[in-house]
Structure 1
Amino acid sequence: MATFQNQDILEITQGASLLRIAPQAGGRLLSWDIDEEQVIYWPDDADWSQPAKVRGGNPLLFPFLARHFVDGQIGRWRDAEGVVRDLPMHGFARDLPFAAELDAAGGGVTMTLTDSDATRTAYPFGFRFEATYRLADAHTLDVALTTTNTGDAPLPYYAGHHFYFALPHTQRGETTLELPPTQRRHQLADASISAAEPGETRYTLDDGRILDRFHLPEGTLDRPVRIIAPGLNRTITIDLQRPGSIPWYAVTTWTLAPESDFYCVEPWLGLPDAIHNGFGLRWLAPGATETAALRISVAADT
């Protein structure tokens, strides 16, 4: 174990690449540095009394992501029998400790969360949820979310990532996001999902049309997502078509405020309130396992 911000964490290195991970804090990837420069953002003044609320790293979103509502109340969902249960926004995984196991070569870690008394009231299903991070090389990070239904009833879920990519807010206007052909949608105040509107394949990150928006592929995500940041001399490529992966449903773009020095690009398996509206809701049969994988590569612009 290493110490970071007075916390015991895991560090994984590959050449000039450094991952910091806190299994006990929701299996959180805290930061990814290359040549001592942040790729995944983590604040210097993080409040470790409530790590799930820190704006940074990559919170793991499970079993549901984003906002779900019952009768206008956020953080509630209704099951097929009509029972209403409390479940926090983005699910409970980011609030709970994960068990961690480093791989034999030391280049990666798999963290595991299973059902317990802490989960069954909100989500009465047997599950094993695993997050794997592995440095393929000094500029390439492989990430996988694996979900297994360990119970005897079909398991509903839609998981996702919440990557905080480091970017000075003054550089949003010169930083571009490239996407495959998509349609844009967003969540309305009544929890419903807006009608689809045509998306574009290129935006700048100061474009208000992509703030808190879901980009749904037209067909498959057959081209990678790219963040091109000339001010950082950096291009980040997110490959969402990995061998053996189930399909990602959408990519969400969001940031907190005009002065935030990060921008979030978030691969999701479903849309907010999918447990009620069905957009991306996945049902996993008893005993079944499936994995959603991606690869993030960082290259210096020349």
Structure 2
Amino acid sequence: MTLTRHDAPFPHWVLTAASGDQLRVVPERGGLVVGWRCGGEERLYFDAERFADPSKSVRGGIPVLFPVCGNLPGNQLVLPQGSFPMAQHGFARDLPWDLAALEAGDGIRLTLSDSPATHSAYPFRFQLSLDYQLEPDALAIRAVVEHRTGAADAGPMPFALGLHPYLQVESLAQARVDGVPEQCWDHLTAAEAATADQLARLEQGVDLRVECLGAAGSGPQVCTGDGTAVELQMQPPFVHAVLWSDPPRPMLCLEPWSAPRGELGQHLLPGERCELRCRYRLTVV
């Protein structure tokens, strides 16, 4: 395993496994993974031109959603401590993270801790770490959320965690989604809908959530149109998968969430921690 710094086309780090698989990451921009090369091909969509404009939200890679997935009513986090401004998908994707190589295996650890920049929106001492591990034909992700002790707040720390991978597809017309339940929640209409009807509209744009409460490790998969598929395997509390398309971009997001949109489904007392795991596995179809 090697972890090297590169300056072009923008500053980033490259993790290269013995197999030749790679991760590319920009810790300073929200701990953003901007590339995952697996099986000789790039598996993530990434809009480098949009990334070059910091005033625009990222389209591509694997943004991190914390401490909320989606948006809260009025973009306000209401707590016993008061009301705090909270942007859509939280603040983790906008802050610099620390980067380190894992001691074992082909992986990296990205870490974000509370700071004066987070206290104005989230009055808790916390640490969030993300381990990305390159495995044969897979990318394994382990997240640990910790409510750190020693803070003035003694109450529970609510949070939700999500990842927002942009999977590259040949085209939305060729993409297919398998392994999903018959019913879903349509974020666009805020109503339950037939999943098949929604997936027939990938080229028009979809934003839906399915619950994956079956056997551990099973999950939906995106058939990318090139003879391969990427399957999302999740472990609770990752039990929600969000599918999102943004036509005409040749990408389809397949996102593990720990809570529905706008809900902070997990709570940690000071000193407690929560571990969340998921895995993206490449298969031939």
Name the aligned partner's letter for residue 232 of structure 1: D
Which residue pairs with 2:125 in the alignment? 126
* Map of 2:107 onto structure 1: 108
Aligned to 2:14: 11
Offset, 1:292: 1.0
User: Which consecutive unaligned segments of at least 5 residues does structure 1 have?
Assistant: 276-280
Give CA-to-partner distance per residue, 1:177-219, whole Å, 9 cap, x none. 1124363113467xxx53x4454599557376x8111112356
1:134-154 CA distances to partner (integer Å, 9 max, x unpaired)?
1023x2111112100104331
CA contact (8 A) 2:132 2:142 kept: yes
1:145 corresponds, among 143, 146, 149, to 143
AA at the equivalent of 2:5: A
Match of 2:208 in 1: 213
What CA distance in whole angstroms lies between the structure 1 residues aligned with 2:203 and 2:58? 25
Identity, % of aligned positions: 23
Structure 1 residue 98 corresponds to structure 2 residue 82: no
| Worse-matched range after superposition: 22-31 or 215-224 | 215-224
Q: Does 1:285 align with 2:269?
A: yes
Cα shift readout 1:230-288 (whole Å, capped 9, x = no counterpart): x31211121113xxxx321311111222x11111111111122214xxxxx11112211
**1:20 CA displacement:** 0.2
Cα deviation for residue 39 of structure 1 reads 0.3
* Structure 2 residue 278 is matched with structure 1 residue 294: yes
Tell whether the 8 Å contact from 1:182 to 1:217 is kept in structure 2 after alignment: no
1:185-196 paired onto structure 2 within 5 Å: 185-187=185-187, 193-194=190-191, 196=192
What RMSD over aligned residues (CA atoms) do the two structures have, in Å?
Answer: 2.6
- 1:274 match: secondary structure: coil
Q: CA deviation at 1:37?
A: 2.5
In structure 2, the gaps of 5 or more residues are none
Which position in structure 2 is the counterpart of 1:179? 179
From 161, 168, 171, the counterpart of 2:170: 168
Q: Residue 173 of structure 2 aligns to a residue in which SS?
A: helix
Q: Give 3-state SS (helix, strand or coil) of 2:64's partner.
A: coil
Q: Distance in 1 between matches of 2:37 and 2:52?
A: 20
TM-score w.r.t. structure 2 length?
Answer: 0.87
- Once the two structures are superposed, the pairs formed by residues 222-301 of structure 1 within 5 Å of their partners are 223-229=218-224, 231-241=225-235, 246-257=236-247, 259-275=248-264, 281-301=265-285
Range with bigger deviation, 286-295 or 40-49: 40-49
- The 3-state SS of whatever aligns with 1:42 is coil
Matches of 2:263 and 2:202, distance apart in 1: 28
Q: What amino acid maps onto 1:145 in structure 2?
A: A
Verify the 8 A CA contact 2:209 2:243 in the aligned structure 1.
yes
| Equivalent position of 1:85 in the other structure | 84
